[in-house]
Structure 1
Amino acid sequence: MTTTVIRNADWIVAHDGARHVYASGDVAFGGGALTHVGGAYAGAADVEIDGRGRMVMPGLVNVHSHPSSEAMNKGFLDELGSKGLYMSSLYEFMPLFRCDDEGREACVQVALSELLMSGVTTVVDLSVAWDGWLDTLAVSGLRAVAAPMHRSARWFTKNGHVVEYEWDEAAGRRAMDEALRVIDAANAHPSGRLSGMCAPSQIDTCSEELIRDNFDAAQERGVPFQIHAAQSVVEFHEITRRHGRTPLQWLDDLGVLKPGAIIGHGIFLNDHVGAHWPEARDFDLLRESGAAVAHCPTVFQRRGITLRTLGRYLRGGVPVGIGTDTYPHNMLEEMRNALTNSRVVSRNVYDVATSQVFDAVTTGGAAILGRSDIGRLSPGAKADLVLVDVAHPAMRPLREPLRSLIYVAAERAVRDVFVDGRQVVADGRALAFDLPAALDRLEAAQRRAEAAFRQLDYAGRSHEDASPFVYGRA
């Protein structure tokens, strides 16, 4: 077993068994696990890393991400929402700007590289299963949870203000069977870094049976369950129209709003200003259920939508993890947005603290995934760790290193990342993929998606009509 020691780190975000604490000194690891955190390490070392000018912190846990599609939407969805569908982009635009099979792997390589370079060491990948998926996750070096999305219906609009659903429950059942095969393969993967999650796509596109059976399958396999729910006004109205129940009430009726379940987004509770459904108690229902929420602020803030509020959920005891969902796949910026949005909506700087958000992306995210061996730096935990350059200009003047990192420097100060004791980012560069080449392939896929856009759009618009450039062409 090779032992690596980071010597004389200026700052260490260590874990004392109850909480994160600042320390300094040495961090040692070998065999994929941490053996020493803080103070002087007196044992033998095969590899030594100079920790001077560095902060060592636990790798970040991302509980909700879409690497196989979102990276290609850059420049298209940044300020685009459906005026007739409560400003969401889900129904009118996202189905039309598609990453083809040729571009998908490049899209994934770009997204996973971005995640690694922002300090993520564990990611939940919510994607429709594709050939080569698990191999690509394994090559990335990440600790990855494959969550194969599947559904009973697709959504679409013929006019930009009414969402319709095309149902094929047999196809949904076949997709679930395939998803379970992928989950079982991930759990058995020889890397030891992959696992699975049951992930029926959305509450409004999945039949009652598909949701229940997925939750039962997750319980049988001992894996988490995640579903997009309470994520849009359209969905809130659709579920109340069908069932006379809010999305969270309906999940509770199905018997799946309980520990082990993760609600993707969980924004539109009955008391949200966009819902106006006063005769329910969704927040109490959520906090009493033990179910968790995957909070992804960036994708929603672009459309003037946010959780109300992150601080309220955390004070209420709701387990909350953070996810990137969209581009940029930058967990540090996502943390900053989570903090800022909660304070703006509450009009209270004390609504949520930096420590609470850092906990959510480390020990909190780990707990949601059923792990106690990631998201912390303590002997025996996995050697998933990040080295931050505290001498970087964006980190200085340095008084409080996590605040400097989250509020200012972000990924620019991330230098090295290790997963299972193996280096996956060196000097700010993800090692698994040729990022410039992947970006070239992704841009080519984006041009193909632009060319196909008009044929897919109900109104026959071009991509430039739907999402105009910031300025017109000369």
Structure 2
Amino acid sequence: MREKSEVKSDESESPEERTPMTKTTKISDLDHVVAWDESERRHVYVDGGDLVFKGNEIVHVGPGYTGTADATIDGKGFMAIPGFVNVHSHPFSEPANKGLTEEYGSDKLGQSSLYEYLPVFGLDAEDAGPSTMVAMSELLKSGVTTISDLSMSRDGWVDDLAATGIRAVVCPMMRQGYWYTKNGHTVEYAWDEKAGEKAFAAAMKTIDEATKHPSGRISAMVGPSQIDTCKEGYFREALQEAKRRNIPMQTHACQAVVEFYEMVHRHGKTPIEWLDSIGVLGPDLVIGHGIFLSDHPQIHYPHANDFELLRDSGASVAHCPTVFARRGMVLNSIGRYMNAGITVGIGTDTFPHNMVDEIRLACYVARVFTSNYKMGTTRHAFEAATVGGAKILRRPDLGRLAPGCKADFSLVDMSHPYMQPAHEPVRSLIYSASERAIRHVYVDGAQVVKDGKVLTVDVDAATQGLIEGQRKRLKTVPQRDWAGRTADQLAPPVYGTKDRLPQSRPVT
């Protein structure tokens, strides 16, 4: 990608310094632009078009821009796509689970890793910074320009996110209790309402401070952590605070078989029914992950109508296929939900933080699970990752390329071998090239990825910090595991290690 003007870029500058808010930049003669057609409410291809933005706002999409520009960039050989909007991620800890949770869950707890594995792995709070930065670098390289970060409040969290140049929605998780197992086949809950009140106050403080961040790229949502660790009053108060601030609320619900029957045991209601009964199920609620409804084959509870209740409520779903596919679980299905009018967004709940991979897997698992290729189309998943996520975050200026929208976009290298032949360029990106063909990424009009390299994160330093944090945490795994097992006993390596091999036979 070549600039035709003499504008220079200093990689040491902040995103705000690299793109003055009055500068007009024209990316000319793009092979393709995945543009937003407002009249038809869908993405369309525009071939041979220009993408022009002034400061952080798009002012022109299409051929024949005749206005002035401070800088013109040759877009020939590239496709512009809208920045992906990630609606559910846990960057503070998930990168440290690499090598541990890819294929292990609790056989006697619905195959989930929630109750026996995640509490003993993860990271200590002081190591969350490097983990977050590693995740942000992966997200940016895969074309994510907006991240919803569901993390525990910590010092420096918001500044870390802002420094990466990404657009971030902070969702400080808070709860009144936590789960644990003493035997690997039952789940118990420890409640501490005073700690819950303290976490609630800290979360609201973080939210209010984040929305005032000088970068202008930080917003927030309210986050009662899980449906089974927060009580009725807690949820209602959280919803009140979300409405008062005009921001969404997100909670984990319908994410495990154990959770489904725990709520039936407590209340005689499914998770969806209970959320509805307390007045929380509605347009302000985002449900991560919304899988285990009453009619899901792994539940088969014919005494409720969760799907219809969810559909009619206006609540949204954050769909994260990878983490559940690892446990043999899947949403039923992205096509079914979206065809029924349920707003669905895509998230990277786990490592790797690769949005293109999540989009592809969302399509594949839906088709396999339903035995119907129409229940997970590229349009379903691509639109969930763009305009669906933007709708969830109440940001019609994100997830699409149109005048008046934020200049959040990626440039895809159409000459990349995995993009060829590029008969259908979005399909080539999703099913073949993945993030490898994403060469340049802009957020708020500032370039944050150049030639596949993240400009705003010291990836080497962050990775080293992540490695050290994981090593430190793994040493203490037996202290947290109910059976005192080591990390290798909980998650045995693929292959054993030997000090020496048998002597090979001489060649004759």
The interval holding the TM-score normalised by the smaller chain is over 0.9
Residue identity opposite 1:11 in structure 2: H
Aligned to 2:42: 19
Bigger CA radius of gyration: 2
> For the Cα contact (< 8 Å) 1:169–1:207, is it kept in 2?
no
- Per-residue deviation, 1:31: 1.9
Indicate the RMSD between aligned Cα atoms, in angstroms: 0.8
- Per-residue deviation, 1:436: 1.5
Matching of residue 153 in structure 1 with residue 177 in structure 2: yes
Question: Deviation string for 1:402-431 (max 9, x for gaps)?
Answer: 000011111100001111100111111111
Aligned to 2:332: 308
Distance 2:214 2:158 in 1: 11
Aligned to 1:236: 260
- Per-residue deviation, 1:352: 2.6
Distance 2:475 2:338 in 1: 45
Question: Deviation string for 1:245-293 (max 9, x for gaps)?
Answer: 0000000011010011100100000111222211100000000000000
> For the Cα contact (< 8 Å) 2:362–2:376, is it kept in 1?
no
Aligned to 2:212: 188
Distance 1:43 1:397 in 2: 34
Which SS does the other structure have where 1:112 is aligned?
helix
Aligned to 1:99: 123
Distance 2:256 2:404 in 1: 42
Residue identity opposite 2:66 in structure 1: A
Question: Deviation string for 1:208-237 (max 9, x for gaps)?
Answer: 111111011101110000000000001001
> For the Cα contact (< 8 Å) 2:334–2:380, is it kept in 1?
no
Matching of residue 72 in structure 1 with residue 93 in structure 2: no
Residue identity opposite 2:128 in structure 1: R
Matches within 5 A, 1:378-457: 378-457=402-481
Q: What is the aligned counterpart of 1:202 among 223, 226, 233?
A: 226
- Per-residue deviation, 1:446: 1.1
- Per-residue deviation, 1:371: 1.0
Aligned to 2:77: 53
Aligned to 1:4: 25
Aligned to 2:18: none
Matching of residue 321 in structure 1 with residue 342 in structure 2: no
Matching of residue 347 in structure 1 with residue 368 in structure 2: no
Distance 2:390 2:488 in 1: 42
Matches within 5 A, 1:246-257: 246-257=270-281
Residue identity opposite 1:23 in structure 2: V
Aligned to 2:238: 214
Q: What is the aligned counterpart of 1:171 among 195, 203, 207?
A: 195
Matching of residue 114 in structure 1 with residue 135 in structure 2: no
Distance 2:353 2:376 in 1: 23
Distance 1:372 1:314 in 2: 18
Structure 1 gaps, min length 5: none
Residue identity opposite 2:415 in structure 1: A
> For the Cα contact (< 8 Å) 1:91–1:157, is it kept in 2?
yes
- Per-residue deviation, 1:167: 0.1
Residue identity opposite 2:45 in structure 1: Y
Which SS does the other structure have where 1:350 is aligned?
helix
Which SS does the other structure have where 2:188 is aligned?
strand
- Per-residue deviation, 1:463: 0.6
Which sits farther off after the overlay, 305-314 or 239-248? Answer: 305-314
TM-score, normalised to structure 1's length?
Answer: 0.99
> For the Cα contact (< 8 Å) 1:150–1:179, is it kept in 2?
yes
Structure 2 gaps, min length 5: 1-21, 499-508
Distance 1:91 1:156 in 2: 6
**Runs of 4 or more off by more than 2 Å in structure 1?**
none
Matching of residue 85 in structure 1 with residue 109 in structure 2: yes
Which SS does the other structure have where 2:447 is aligned?
strand
Matching of residue 467 in structure 1 with residue 498 in structure 2: no
> For the Cα contact (< 8 Å) 2:94–2:122, is it kept in 1?
no
Distance 2:126 2:468 in 1: 10
Distance 2:278 2:89 in 1: 25
Distance 1:167 1:225 in 2: 22
TM-score, normalised to structure 2's length?
Answer: 0.92
> For the Cα contact (< 8 Å) 2:140–2:449, is it kept in 1?
yes
Residue identity opposite 2:324 in structure 1: F
Aligned to 2:5: none
The aligned length equals: 474
Residue identity opposite 1:407 in structure 2: Y
Question: Deviation string for 1:66-115 (max 9, x for gaps)?
Answer: 01010110110000100110110000010001312332111000001100
Matching of residue 296 in structure 1 with residue 317 in structure 2: no
Aligned to 1:43: 67
Distance 1:101 1:221 in 2: 28
Q: What is the aligned counterpart of 2:386 among 339, 362, 369?
A: 362
Matching of residue 371 in structure 1 with residue 395 in structure 2: yes
Amino-acid identity (%): 54
Matching of residue 337 in structure 1 with residue 358 in structure 2: no
